[in-house]
Structure 1
Amino acid sequence: MYVVLVYDISGLGNGQKILGKVFKICKKYLTHIQNSVFEGEITEGQIVKLKSELNKLIRKNIDSVIIFKSRNEKWLDKEFWGKKDDALSNFF
């Protein structure tokens, strides 16, 4: 399945340390496309592993993670505005 994952990690407490770890975990499974946004093809089993790893870090009262799921990337209609980063090869 194709997913877009976004996260918001609060800077409170050890937030910067958590932010770095969350970034590394997401990068293992998905392609980093912008700040706290990742996308890519992933299996249901990989989603379970990803969630498990993130749940160990996320402070549920101040941090958040959202995963948008689609059967296939072709079912997503993407528009891009502003500065285009050439590293974003998944956009066009």
Structure 2
Amino acid sequence: MFVIITYDITDDKRLNKVRKILKKYLYWKQLSCFEGIITEGKLAQCMAEIDEVINKKEDSIYVYQVKNPNNIKRKVLGIEKNLMDEFL
């Protein structure tokens, strides 16, 4: 399935841990947004790892799931960022 995960983490230490977890499973598209194709099992594993890191009283994670990735159409206004290019 195709997923988009967005997050709002209040602490930089937790933020970096969540970002590191998400990088293992998905592609970093914008500062607080990851996306990609992932199995339900891998998504559950990813979310379990994140659940151990976040503070549920301060942080939020949104997961948008699309069963058929052919139903996704993305339009970008301005420059499309590929944050992985910044590290190469």
State the TM-score, normalized to the length of structure 2. 0.87
1:27-66 alignment to 2 at 5 Å? 27-66=23-62
Give the drift of 1:79: 1.6
What stretches of structure 1 move > 6 A for 4+ residues in a row? none
More helix by share: 2
Q: Distance in 2 between matches of 1:19 and 1:84?
A: 23
1:69 to 2:65 alignment: yes
Q: Distance in 1 between matches of 2:12 and 2:76?
A: 28
Sequence identity (%): 39
Aligned alpha-carbon RMSD (Å): 1.3
Q: Distance in 2 between matches of 1:41 and 1:72?
A: 10
1:84 to 2:72 alignment: no
State the number of aligned residues. Answer: 83
Structure 2, unmatched stretches of 5+, are 84-88
